[in-house]
Structure 1
Amino acid sequence: MSMNTISYRKLIPEESKAYRTIRLESLKQFPESFGANYHEALKTEKFQLESDIEEQTVGRFVLGAYAADMLIGICTFIKSDKNSGTIYQMYVKREFQGKNIGQGLLEAVIHEAGRQFNGIEILLEVAPGNDKAYHLYRKTGFLEVENTSVQDFSHCIIMKYMPE
């Protein structure tokens, strides 16, 4: 398999450490894009999602983008109580950006969520000013929705997957 061939799949239990490594990298590279702090995260012995990957928790998964066997991107899906779920932690390594891998990851997560939970509503949040991500989400079929949440996410734009 050449480095040009990108594959997408769910992370398996043995890959929880690889997830941790790339997650920390994402926080270090783009602190403004994620609702988490790199230095705080470093102190966290084990992320909840590391455990979710190891236990293959239902309704919580991390999808990876791989160039050959190297994990180069991640995207997380977490199902809520209702028939909806949210995409988090979308990240592609800098040297692989601009190659439509982010879109491939999103589409793979949407497909996997739909396979596991038929007809599920898929949401995500994007920080205002993160135009690159916003345009990617629009291109993939996400549209802005009214913020009906009780919590105040006014600092974020809420988007919902609404394919044509």
Structure 2
Amino acid sequence: MRRARGQTAAMIELRVLAPDDWPIWRELRLAALAEAPYAFGSRLADWQGDGDRPERWRGRLEIPGSYNLVALLDGRPAGMASGVPTEDRVVELISMWVRPDARGRGVGDRLLAAVEQWARQERAQVLKLAVVEGNDAATGLYRRNGFQLTEEVGDLMPDGVRREQIMAKELAAG
């Protein structure tokens, strides 16, 4: 990672979450939905009020076979991502988000690399993700990490107008 003169290197630590780690997941997910509502298929309101229950947050981290990570930047929660097995030999990257003040510091790249490494260990052949058209920063991050747009049609966004774009990366066998 290149640094500007006088800038110190950031310490990025990745932590795999267990269901009991739901409070840190909750903190980041609510921040993500508040900061970038245009980028997610869920809405902040869906996770507040009656939706804001410990068992629901714990359940999110108990998706069968999932791999849930948070990134700590200089000891502070800075981003999150999950890998979820889907169909045969395909893993989907979901819930990817990096705090605005941590962007451009390698956090997203580290999260993506960790999910990819895990997907390879799970013998996945493809790592897929959904990104909203116009989310150029995220699309750039994914392209830089080897993802390509597919012809697959993504889900309809909560606004009822836009659809997600599906990107995928082929993973070497073995």
**What TM bracket, shorter-length normalisation?**
0.7 to 0.9
Query: Which structure 2 residues correspond to residues 12-23 of structure 1 after superposition, within 5 A?
Result: 12-23=18-29
Contact 1:141 1:163 in 2 (8 A): no
Q: Distance in 2 between matches of 1:127 and 1:80?
A: 20
**Under a length normalisation based on structure 1, what TM-score does the superposition of the two structures give?**
0.84
Q: Does residue 130 of structure 1 match 2:138?
A: no
Q: Sequence identity, in percent?
A: 25
Which 4+ residue blocks in structure 1 deviate beyond 6 angstroms? 151-154
How many Å apart are 1:40 and its aligned residue? 2.0
Query: Which structure 2 residues correspond to residues 100-139 of structure 1 after superposition, within 5 A?
Result: 100-115=106-121, 117-139=122-144
Q: Secondary structure at the match of 1:7?
A: strand
| Equivalent of residue 96 in structure 1, options 97, 102, 123 | 102
Contact 1:10 1:61 in 2 (8 A): yes
Contact 2:82 2:96 in 1 (8 A): yes
**Under a length normalisation based on structure 2, what TM-score does the superposition of the two structures give?**
0.79
Q: Does residue 146 of structure 1 match 2:151?
A: yes
Aligned to 1:160: 168
Q: Distance in 1 between matches of 2:125 and 2:55?
A: 26
Q: Distance in 1 between matches of 2:153 and 2:29?
A: 29
In structure 2, the CA distance between the partners of 1:81 and 1:162, relative to structure 1 (3 Å rule), is closer
Q: Secondary structure at the match of 1:63?
A: strand
Q: Distance in 2 between matches of 1:75 and 1:47?
A: 20
Unaligned runs of 5+ in 1: none
Q: Distance in 2 between matches of 1:49 and 1:142?
A: 29
Unaligned runs of 5+ in 2: 1-7
Q: Distance in 1 between matches of 2:127 and 2:171?
A: 11
Aligned to 1:76: 82
Paired AA for residue 135 in structure 1: G
In structure 2, the CA distance between the partners of 1:79 and 1:94, relative to structure 1 (3 Å rule), is same
